[in-house]
Chain A
Amino acid sequence: MFRVDDDAPHRLFGRHEQEFKGLDEVRVDFVPPFDEDELVAEEEKKLRVRFELRNTDPAIANALRRIMIAEVETVAVDQIGMMQNTSIIPDEVLVHRVAMVPLAVDPRHVRKGEALFFELTITCKGKPQNVYSRDLLFQPDESQTAAFPDQKEYWSKFNPRPVHSDILLAKLLPGQQIHLRAVCTVGKGQDHAKWSPVATATYRIMPKVDVNTARANGELAQAIKQACPRDVFDIEDSGALVATDPRRCTMCRECVRLDEFKGCVELYRVSDHFIFSVESVGSLPPLEIVRRAILVLKAKAVAWKRHLHSLQATS
């Protein structure tokens, strides 16, 4: 538990004083991925999930976050064969841009040792032309036919393609052309950011807003309510200030900044309550990312457990 004062957040208990809660007590609640007042496109909503994780340690929450960013596997462009590039954009930069394009391919569908090939073949005729991610076309490759002769039929079920069709990759003038072949493999975000399945995977620690009703009433209460940009407070009929919706608090500390507000409000962070927000880049559904992250975490725990057992056995 932290008390967020105007000068700094202060830890209220010693680091280890907090009792470790068993995993059995962990509670997960799913909440709407966006605040009511946010205007978000329908499509974008599909990419985001928000849930609350309670009764657990920061270590668990952080492990989940870290795994989502760095250890959930995805498919991304790993190598590119540049056959022709007469555009203004240099090979290396184009390659980098292509590699950053998220691909709608589930890494679980990729068989061991298999690589996916995408081709981009474009020649500009007539007017200046843009090259978009949709021009990257899945192209089963001959080099794979020995190991995976059925590649074409197999992947036709899944329709491998870039998630977003309108990512600008290059611009061409008449006569310029680009021809490249991208080799996509399964990888993890820890090796390169392009394999990270999330745009953001983060949590914030549950805010708690305590109001000293003895002080915060009347005009002062009005002033504090006005000061809060997030409408956390309301005024009761008695004229006292009340924190109606602490979840909305962004810890901007406006309610404690001014001298006249001193002693009215206290802000806390409840260290066993985490509000997660996961936004997928689109290659995997956000919930799936969470699920796989938990599986990775579980596998790690199991591996540790096994390791500890073996240590016990030897000693």
Chain B
Amino acid sequence: MAPESLEIEEEKGADVGQVGERLLPGPADIPQQKPSSGLTPRERAAVDEAPARNKWKLLPEFLKVRGLVKQHIDSYNHFVEVEMKKIVASKMNREIRSDNNHHFFLRYEDVYVGTPEVDQNLITYKVTPQECRLRDLTYAAPIYVDVCFTRGRGVFRKRKLQIGRIPVMLQSSRCRLRGKSVAELEKLKECPYDPGGYFVVKGSEKVILIQEQLSKNRIIIEQDSKKQTCASVTSSTHERKSRTAVYIKNNRIYLKHNSISADIPIFIVLKAMDCESELLINYAISGTSGIRQFLIASAEEAARAGIFTRDQALEFIGQYIKHSRAAKRSADDPTNTAPLRADEAKDVLALMVLGHVPVNNYDFRDKAFYLMYMVRQCCQAEADPSLLDDKDYYGNKRLELAGQLLALLFEDLFKRFNTELKLQAERVLSKANQADAFDIMKHMSQNIITNGFVQAISTGNWSLKRFKMERAGVTQQLSRLSFMSAIGHMTRITSQFEKTRKVSGPRALQPSQWGMLCPSDTPEGESCGLVKNLALLTHVTSDEEDGPVRQLVLRLGVEDIKLLGGEEIFSEGAYVVMLNGEILGLTAEPEVLAEQLRKLRRAGRLGEYVSVFVNRDKATVQIATDGGRMCRPLIVVDKATHRGKVRNKHLRMLREGKMAFHQLLEQGLIEYVDVNESNNTMVALSDVEGESAGGATMQEATHLEIDPLTILGIVVGLVPFPHHNQSPRNTYQCAMGKQAVGTIGMNQLERIDTLLYLMCYPHKPLVHSRTLELVNFDCVPAGQNAIVAVMSYSGYDIEDAIIINKSSMERGFARCMVMRKYATQLKTYANNTMDRLAPPPFATPDAPPAAAGKFCGVGYDGVIEIGSRVEKNGVLVNREMPTNTSDLMVTGPGMGHGSGEFKPSALCYKGPGDARVDKVMISSSEFESHIIKVVTREVRMIELGDKFSSRHGQKGVVGLIVPQVDMPFTDQGIVPDIIMNPHGFPSRMTVGKLMELICSKAGAVSGVRQYGTAFAENPVKACSETLVKHGHSYHGKEVVTDGITGETVEAHIFFGPVYYQRLKHMVADKMHARARGPRAVLTRQPTEGRSRDGGLRLGEMERDCLIGYGASGLLIERLMISSDIFEANVCLKCGFMANPVRCQNCRTGAHLTSLSLPYACKLLFQELHSMNIIPKLTLQDL
């Protein structure tokens, strides 16, 4: 079938690319409905019931409800709406009482967050994110509490009391942009395609990166650093975090915990937990002979230590408690309130060891079973190493999102806030006689919380001593190089793993990553494999209440652990049911249980993110409701018909708006499957007759993939035909797509960024993909469809260099703009003096600004005028600073109009030259009354050495710019924009690029854009046929004529459009050379670096070459004469350096001679002198 007709059919049914009603419809997106009237009701019913051929159409529907960065927004919303209230309502935080006055209290009754606003001169008004960006403000909303408190004798209640401000995530439930239409967003100067999910703090956009961690409250069997088999759990509850490990050493089992200083034999611990009988322990743990040997040895060790009863065990453990208060107890001092050792041990065992297993009234039963379970797992793994857990397995990992991190921060800040309040209260209430009744309302300082948030987000340092947390680099400035880089930033995951360690395990692609994390999008170099990106549909769960699940599981016939003995637990065929890592009970029919739970989940009776996983190897059923798990939606396969439950009718109803995506979830047609549960599924690719179902046949399949392309991330969506490329090439493109110059958003010209690269005439790519439609790349493109001839030309194209057509360049090909921000403030100093703006010298109010010179274009107000040209070191803002900013001056405040009292401190343009002023903003920030931002604009044509890349990881620099007449041309007279050397292909194996060229060409001749979606149907054959139909060669190769000789080129040239990206690395930003220039003060050597106009270093290796060559004269010239030559005077008698007339050491000037040496050498001698080391210079004639 010819691609046109194929395309038309596609277009009719589709309404692709519309992510949410808030987005602009792209040109191809106007939904045209296929006239269905042609079908009889029966035919229609048949079509409706048929398996959905275009399952991928679920994607736009899904993303319509989800958005691209739902993980961040959901997490933040969960924090603001649920977590925050929990923190404030928790027992430790909700009340402040005074030790001095028992009547006093302050109780928090509720907490909630308002909408973003800003205080300006005591006026509070609503802000937009854009205003915050421009004015360097923080986009934050007030946190309100309802409180009940005492003042004097009375009890008062106050509602909506502000306690601080919290930065608001864009597009979150508190954000002003939430649910706004395109027109409204435009009014707010916001890009309608911007996904949100970041913060605006002090004017800069900050992303809280997703952090990857090992999961909490789960038993992990591993080999520790000493190669001992070890079962460890990191317990994490709201109150405390601790790590407990059970390990085997010399066949004996020990318990290790971070609040117990020594490792305790396991039998002693178990005895302390009320399991005094060895027999019971033996029964509870084992049975099998493989394990018994460890138990016997461990039991013996406890017996040898003379520990037989619970009290003895507690006493024993009590000796090893860290930071023990019991140790301070002495018999002599009856007032000492320290606890008994045994009591303290009991507390530690109850609260600290395995802290996530609840212990009520010191009933250790559950905990003991848990511990014994760990022991058993550990022993089994010791016998059979294949039972060790894989630490890199993604089911054992949790992702920490903005909400969780902010929750920790808020808890810390809120506690600090309360402590501060309490301190204030104590200070006042401890006084014997107070003048007025103490009013706590007067002591509410909002700064603790407000500044705490701002500080943490703007620096990225999460240092919370309370939670033993010390993390740097949690936030990053949102990369706005291109739209793709911003989106890619939001899906990024960093690992806590150190980058320096050279281990491959955590960096390697993990099979369990399938569908959850993008296999291609990771950086090269040191953080390769540690920084990852979410796949297209991955969702990260939030914490969910587990109480209802617990009850439900027990009602479904799971035998409660409390009613069972050890023997039953480990009996053959009994499956342990665990909820979030906690043992609930036993079941004999795990599959039935799982099936029932899944059925309930599909019916909407359980949370959609609850996962049920039957682990046959370990005989467990794992139920998880905790946050941070990665999951993704899959279509459920109907067991009876072996077809996916989503049928054509559902797609039709979605399209017609009669059904919403969430209904698919509610009706159980689609469900979320997390990493663990994926192990219980068989996922087929397609249920349509004649299409390959993939690895699983439809008979055995349990789920159906929505579309295979969803295993990739958003950024790989840029690559056409990624499944035909060598894998690393896709990875390279992921890195380069983020550097492509293009459009960064619809509001790009309203923005004031430090550095912004924009393309003058960006194109939509001729070959695009479904992923690109989902992110609306067509509206924010970065690149141009260049006509490429793959041929060798001139020799200036070796090593991936490309040849550019000069006329294309002159007509605007790859032309880009560079916008740069220059900002300054007019400060007010301590002595009330102020910076001021001054008119340029000799300026008059009526005359136009100077047309040349340093003050070119600067108006009478001291600020440069829009549109004027600026040159290097030209003044942008003619600011003047008071000469005296510290002393209080006689003239008093507001003075300083005399010229002598000010010195110039102008803001100057530093670029290489020929830029123009694009816009000037004069405003005020939170702290400064005047901030002035000047944006300069530079338009850049292509230059030799500028970097380009296609979308297949094929980068190259411009090697030659050739006049159009010299370029080869086809029979139609088409001249290429770019000539690329064919040697780029064989070793790179980027077949996708060849396919892109053919499809682009077919698209161009037939006027229909082609799809290059990952894993989709291959359109190349159809495209080739289109080419033939339009008189081109089937293979896309043209007969071309050489523009220089006018003769036919003796090869067929692969010729057609390829989407090329101009990358941000441009010669104009990097070119540097100097003949003479500034020198460093200390060493008198030339400065370093382009920004300081530095010299080019002749380094050690270069020096070695010159030595080897024997070029001594050149060496002296390079290293001394052209660098830091110094004329020193040396006293021949004592060998010291002296001043020109007299040696201070010999007290005479008689023996002086002069000597040339590097200043650095002279400096070294003097420094040695100062350390009492005397280098002497002994001179002699050669």
Is A277 close to B, CB under 8 A?
yes
Q: A65-B1046, A70-B965, A229-B1031 are in contact. Are A250 and B812 (CB under 8 A)?
A: no
Instruction: Decide: A202 near B1050, CB < 8 A? Known: A69-B964, A88-B749, A252-B1034.
Output: no
Inter-chain contact B963/A90, CB cutoff 8 Å: no
Please tell me if B1028 contacts chain A, counting CB pairs below 8 Å. Answer: yes
CB 8 Å contact bits of A6-21 with B (1 = contact, 0 = none): 0111110000000000
Q: Are A253 and B1045 touching (Cβ within 8 A)?
A: no
| Cα(A9)–Cα(B967), bound, Å | 18
User: In the complex, are the beta carbons of B810 and A8 less than 8 A apart?
Assistant: no
Residues of A177-225 at the interface with B, using a CB-CB cut-off of 8 Å, are 189-190, 192-194, 196, 200-205
Q: Is A251 in the interface zone, CB < 8 Å from B?
A: yes
From residue A208, how far is it (CB to closest CB) to chain B in Å?
13
Interface residue? A2 (CB, 8 A): yes
B972 interface hit (Cβ, 8 Å): yes
B522 located at the interface, meaning its Cβ lies under 8 Å from any Cβ of chain A in the complex:
no
Partner of A10, one of B749, B969, B1050: B1050
B963 touches A190 (CB 8 A): yes
Residues 1030-1044 (chain B) with a chain A CB within 8 angstroms: 1030-1034, 1038-1039, 1041, 1043-1044
A230 touches B1031 (CB 8 A): yes
Check: B367 CB closer than 8 A to any chain A CB.
no
Check B973–A9 contact: CB distance below 8 A: no
Q: Say how far A5's CB is from chain B's closest CB, in angstroms.
A: 9
Shortest beta-carbon distance from B1054 to chain A in Å: 12
A-B Cβ contacts below 8 A, count: 114
Contacting residue for B1045 out of A62, A93, A201, A277, CB 8 A:
A62
Q: Which interface class (under 10, 10 to 19, 20 to 34, 35 or more) fits A?
A: 35 or more
Residues in chain A near residue B749, CB distance under 8 A: 88
Compute how far the CA of A59 lies from the CA of B1041 in the bound complex, rounded to whole angstroms: 12
Q: Taking A66-B1043, A202-B969, A202-B972 as contacts, is the C-beta distance between A8 and B1050 under 8 angstroms? A: yes
Assess the A4–B1039 pair: CB atoms within 8 A.
Answer: yes
B760 within 8 A of A: yes
A284 part of interface (Cβ distance < 8 Å): no
A254 to B1025, CA, bound (A): 10
Alpha-carbon distance between A252 and B1036 when the two chains are bound, in angstroms: 9
Q: How far is the CB of B915 from chain A (nearest CB, A)?
A: 10
> Which chain A residues border B1034 with CB–CB below 8 Å?
252-254, 257
A296 at the binding interface (Cβ < 8 Å) = no
- Determine whether A92 belongs to the interface, using a CB cutoff of 8 Å to chain B: yes
Residue A271 is within 8 A (CB to CB) of chain B in the complex: yes
Q: Measured between C-beta atoms, what is the minimum distance from A73 to chain B in Å?
A: 15
Contact of B1049 among A9, A192, A253 (CB under 8 A): A9
- Determine the interface band of chain B, counting residues with CB < 8 A from chain A: 35 or more
Q: Beyond A9-B1050, A190-B963, is A200–B973 a contact (Cβ under 8 Å)?
A: yes
A229 to B1032, CA, bound (A): 9
Q: How far is it, in angstroms, between the C-alpha of A194 and the C-alpha of B964 when the chains are bound?
A: 12
Residues of A within 8 A of B971 (CB): 202, 204, 250-251
Q: Is A269 an interface residue (CB 8 A)?
A: yes
- Partner of A93 from the list B760, B972, B1039, B1048 (CB cut-off 8 Å) is B760
Is the CB–CB distance between A58 and B1047 below 8 Å?
yes
Do A201 and B973 touch across chains, with their CB atoms under 8 A apart? Answer: yes
- Confirm or deny: B1051 has a beta carbon within 8 angstroms of a beta carbon on chain A: yes
Which of A85, A193, A200 is in CB contact (< 8 Å) with B810?
A: A193
Closest to B964 in A: A69
**In the assembled complex, how far is the CB of residue A189 from the closest CB belonging to chain B, in whole angstroms?**
8
User: In whole angstroms, how far apart are the Cα atoms of A7 and B810 in the complex?
Assistant: 35
Q: Which listed residue (A11, A62, A88, A271) contacts B1043, Cβ 8 A? A: A62
Bound Cα distance A253, B1037 (Å): 10
- B965 neighbours in A (Cβ, 8 Å): 65-66, 69-70, 190
Interface readout for B1040-1080 with A: 1 if CB under 8 Å, 0 if not? 01011111111110000000000000000000000000000
Q: CA of A256 to CA of B784 in the docked complex: distance in angstroms?
A: 34
Nearest Cβ on chain A to B1025's Cβ, whole angstroms? 10
Query: Does the CB pair A59–B1045 fall under 8 Å?
Result: yes
Which of chain A's residues have a CB closer than 8 A to the CB of B973? 200-202, 277
**Contact of B939 with A82 in the complex, beta carbons under 8 Å:** no
A294 in contact (CB, < 8 A): no
Quick check: is A100 within 8 A (CB to CB) of the other chain?
yes
A residues less than 8 Å from B1028 (CB atoms)? 229, 252, 254
List 30 A–B pairs whose Cβ atoms lie within 8 Å, in order of A's numbering: A4-B1039, A7-B1052, A9-B1039, A9-B1048, A9-B1052, A59-B1045, A62-B1043, A62-B1046, A63-B1046, A90-B916, A91-B916, A92-B937, A92-B939, A93-B817, A96-B812, A100-B811, A100-B812, A190-B965, A201-B973, A202-B969, A204-B971, A204-B972, A205-B1041, A250-B971, A250-B1031, A251-B1038, A251-B1039, A252-B1034, A253-B1033, A269-B1048
Can you list the 3 inter-chain pairs with the closest CB atoms, starting with the nearest?
A: A62-B1046, A202-B973, A58-B1046
**Chain A: residues with CB nearer than 8 A to chain B?**
2, 4, 7-11, 58-59, 61-63, 65-66, 69-70, 82, 85, 88, 90-93, 96, 100, 189-190, 192-194, 196, 200-205, 229-230, 250-254, 257, 269, 271, 277
